[in-house]
Amino acid sequence: MLNYFFLIAAFSVGCLCADTALSSETESEGLVIIESAQCSDPIAVEALEDGEKVVAVSAPSALPFVVKVTDDEGKAITEIVTTLGKSSIPGLAIKKGHLKTLGAGLKGIGPLHFLGYIFSNNELKSHMKTIQKSSTKWNALLEGLKSGLERDLKSQKLGEELQSFATLTKADHQKLLIKAEEHNWDDFVGILVESEGAK
C-alpha cells in the first residue's frame, strides 16, 4: 500500500491514453483498440464490469505491463498531479486538505502502476518536469513512493515487471534496473521524467 502525499497530502498514477505512440483508435461495445506506432500489437483500453480500465502495451520478451485504475482514481490522479504542477507552495498549503482527501482513495495502487499512469500521458509528464524543479514537491512525492518501490523490489515483483514498464514509459530498462538495485528512487523516477516519452 502506498501513502501518496504532498505536505501530508496525497498522490497517485497519469492518464490512460498513451498518446505519444498512437496512430489510430476504434471503439466497439465499450472496448477501445488503440493502434501503436511503436508496437506491432495494439494497445487495448477496456471498460471492465467494475468500472476499471486497462492500458496494456506489448513489449519484446516480456509480458505486457498493465496499468489498472478506476474512472474516479484517474480523475483524482489527474487533479493531484495537475494541482502540484500548477500551484505555488503557498497555494498547495491551502489545498493540502483536498489533496489528502483525493489521495486517500489511491493507497491501493502499486508504485509502477502509479508511475505508469502518469508517464503514459503527455500533460501529466509535463507537470512532472515542473514538480521535479521544486525540491519540496519532489521530495514529498518520492516519500510516498519509496516504501512501495522497496517492497516490490524485495518481493521481485518490480524486477518481473520492469522490462514491460520501461516499454510503456519509453525509458531505458537497464538504467532503471541499475537505479532500482541501488535503491536510488530519486534517480529512478528522474529517468522517467527525462525519458523519450516524457516531453
Give domain limits for the chain: 70-194
Task: Report the alpha-carbon distance of residue 32 to residue 22 in Å, rounded.
Answer: 12
128/85 Cα distance (integer angstroms): 7
3 state DSSP class of 155: coil
- Grid cell for residue 188: 529512478
The C-alpha angle with vertex 158 and arms to 9 and 176, in degrees rounded to 5, equals: 85
Element (H, E) at 186: helix 185-194
pTM of the model: 0.69
Residues 6 or more apart whose Cβ sits within 8 Å of residue 66: 54, 55, 56
Please report, in tens digits, the pLDDT of each residue of the chain (199 residues total): 444 433 333 333 333 333 333 333 333 333 333 333 333 333 333 334 445 544 444 334 457 888 877 888 888 889 989 999 999 999 999 998 998 898 888 888 888 998 999 998 999 999 999 999 999 999 888 887 899 999 999 999 999 999 999 999 999 999 999 999 999 999 999 999 999 765 5
